[in-house]
Amino acid sequence: MTVQFTIDGLEVKAKEGEHLLDVARRHGIDIPSLCHHEAVEPIGACRVCLVEVRSGQKTTITTSCNFLVEDGIEVHTDTAEVRKHRAMNLELLLARAPKSDVVRKLASASGVTRTRFEPLAYEPLPNCILCELCVRTCDMLGHHALTTVGRGDKKRIGLPFNKPSDNCVGCASCLSVCPTQCISVKDTPTQRAIWGQKHDFILCKVCGAPVITKKHRDFAISEKGLPEDYYDTCEKCKQSAASKRFASVVW
């Protein structure tokens, strides 16, 4: 079913079950966010994507990423109330991620350059805003390696019980999606260190360059039913082999 409503005065149409943030962005209306990613379900964790929704007599301030669109609502993305609450949330986030460029930029766009809150940053993820995008992504990928540990001020992201986990394949997707890029990944020519564990790379059978981790390959091969030798050559060596093969066909 189609629903119809307005965002900042613009008439928009969307499908029932769609989230407000996605609909707004599709219509070129920019709502800032940190923890939203289209590949995973939204949870409204960072609380930066606030909007004002008016429905009949009722006006609410809500996160737009996980708000299901409704017929006839009136959405405002840039009211004084929205700006006030967003600025407060960014001030809180700044206490967690004082060194994150992304957070600092967003905060200063909201007029927040310093925070009155006690610093909450913790090692080894000094700029973690606890948005759980890493956890959600790892789950979506089928690895289920990450979790939240502890509660309240002591809440942390990590491997369950902070113990080495067989589930982590060392794909580093958690770092790729992390809004503050605070997850440590260290690659050597033969190994990747992540979440306190070391993963061996498959080395290109031609030149010895790292391809992906062995555990990541094993997972992908069994998941997709691929042949055993699927990931045994690096990008560059496959490129030059393909060029030679094509040249021999053309000439």
Partner 1 sequence: MQITCLQCVEAACAKVCPAGALVRNEETGAIEVLANRCVGCGLCEAACPFGHMHFDTQLRLAVKCDLCGGTPTCAAFCPHDALEIR
| Distance from C-alpha of 163 to C-alpha of 148, rounded to nearest angstrom | 13
In a 3-state reduction of DSSP, which class is residue 55? strand
68 beta partners: 19
| Distance from C-alpha of 171 to C-alpha of 183, rounded to nearest angstrom | 12
59 beta partners: 54
Residue with tokens 């986990």: 165
The number of CA neighbours under 13 Å toward the Cβ of 240 is 6
Q: Per CB under 6 A, which of residues 22..51 are in contact with ligand SF4?
A: none
Q: Which stretch binds partner 1 (CB under 8 A): 63-71, 96-104, 146-154, 167-175?
A: 167-175
CB of 17 to partner 1, least distance (A): 17
Indicate the residue among 44 and 179 with the shorter CB distance to ligand SF4. 179
| Distance from C-alpha of 156 to C-alpha of 181, rounded to nearest angstrom | 16
Torsion of CA 166, 184, 121, 181, to 10 degrees: -110
Work out the angle at residue 234's Cα, subtended by the Cα atoms of residues 142 and 137, and round it to the nearest 5 degrees. 20
Which x/- pattern, by CB under 6 A, does the window 122-161 give for ligand SF4?
---x--xxxxxxx--xx----x-xx----------x----
Q: Which stretch binds partner 1 (CB under 8 A): 43-51, 82-90, 145-153, 235-243?
A: 235-243
First to last CA, the chain: 57
68 contact, one of ligand SF4, partner 1, none, CB 5-8 Å limit per kind: none
Q: Per CB under 6 A, which of residues 172..211 are in contact with ligand SF4?
A: 172-174, 178-180, 182-183, 194-195
Question: Which residue in 6, 173, 191, 197 binds partner 1 (CB under 8 A)?
Answer: 173
**Which residues would be at the binding site for ligand SF4 (CB under 6 A)?**
125, 128-134, 137-138, 143, 145-146, 157, 168-174, 178-180, 182-183, 194-195
**Which residues would be at the binding site for partner 1 (CB under 8 A)?**
37-39, 137, 140-142, 171-173, 175-177, 211-212, 216-217, 220, 223-224, 226, 230-231, 234-244, 246-247, 250
